[in-house]
Structure 1
Amino acid sequence: MKVKKMHPDAVLPKYAQQGDSGFDLVAVEDVIIEPGETKLIKTGLAFDIPEGFEIQVRPRSGITLKTKLRVQLGTIDSNYRGEVGVIVDNNAQPLEIRGDYNFLAKLVDGTRLRADTNTGGKTCDRGTYLILKGDRIGQGILAPVARTEFEEVDKLSDSERGVNGYGSTGVKYTKE
């Protein structure tokens, strides 16, 4: 797949290990995300996705486990040629902190650092995250796209499940 660097510091995508389904999407700039904020993290990359495919932007499990950052699922269509970004929510709750704690920020690996030097002197809430240029913030999956024709009908076919949904099968596993 053809890829174009839109920024000189962009990192060409690669699979971290043999057998990985996702390739790394890397931040091209430092971004501060305060509690409750949503930010677009630029990758500095544009793709020439083959027709019949899409790139699915997905979270990295380690970030989801270790932080309150949530990468939102995204679809990059085959006809899009602009820069790919990763949408990230900070689900941390704002806290009122006194003393030096207001200078702490968290990194995507869950560690903390003094943010007063890394953020240009900006004070940070305890739930603030700092995504650094070069952080692997998301992953892309190249996936086939099935297309269909739509036909309006008055009645759908019957099925065993029918209209039962939204938790109708319960959450408890039962042996059959």
Structure 2
Amino acid sequence: MDVRITKIDPRAVIPAYQTDGAAAFDLTIIEDAVIPSRGTAFLRTGLVFGIPEDHVLLIMARSSLFKKFGLTLANQVGVLDADYCGPEDECHIYLFNPQDTDVKVLAGSRLAQGIVLPRPRVTFVEGTAAERSRGGFGSTGGYG
């Protein structure tokens, strides 16, 4: 599948899969930043994606984000819709620092990863969802 991409900043890095078996491609930030203790930062990639109409780009943390930096994605999973593709619709990485100290990240750091998936459209029909019940939230594993 082809995905159109526009570099709106010359420092932007076209995403790449790091291995042949990788399911997601890495996203790179283009500016140094300091994420304050217990604070957030909205970091630029310099990229606008042209996701195919019937697909979505999901943005997730790289597995090394917390291990190397102690950071998480502030929104846990970012959703970039197919219609978010205009000249001002830059893809950003939204980070949260849960630590007691500030964290500096450098331009060129690969902090998040993206995966393009089909986007199904459902029709919601009002009525009883099911006749049976499993026992509610947490019913299959307890809390221990």
- Does the pair score TM above 0.5? yes
Instruction: Quote the residue 1:146 is aligned against.
Output: 120
The 5-angstrom pairing of residues 151-170 of structure 1 reads 151-153=125-127, 155-161=128-134, 163-165=135-137, 167-170=138-141
Q: TM-score, normalised by structure 1?
A: 0.73
Secondary structure of the 2:72 match is: strand
> Alignment identity in percent?
34
Equivalent runs, 1:9-158 vs 2, <5 Å:
9-71=11-73, 72-81=76-85, 82-93=89-100, 127-153=101-127, 155-158=128-131
Cα deviation, residue 171, structure 1: 5.3
More helix by share: 1
Q: CA deviation at 1:75?
A: 0.2
CA spacing shift, 1:159–1:64, aligned 2, 3 Å: farther
Q: Secondary structure at the match of 1:141?
A: strand
- 1:2 alignment counterpart: 4
1:37-94 residue CA offsets vs partner (Å, 9 max, x unmatched):
111110000011001100000001112233320023100000101100011000002x
Q: Distance in 1 between matches of 2:40 and 2:142?
A: 31
Normalising by structure 2, what TM-score? 0.88
Gaps of 5+ in 1: 94-126
RMSD between aligned alpha carbons? 1.7
- Counterpart amino acid of residue 40 in structure 2: T
Higher Rg: 1
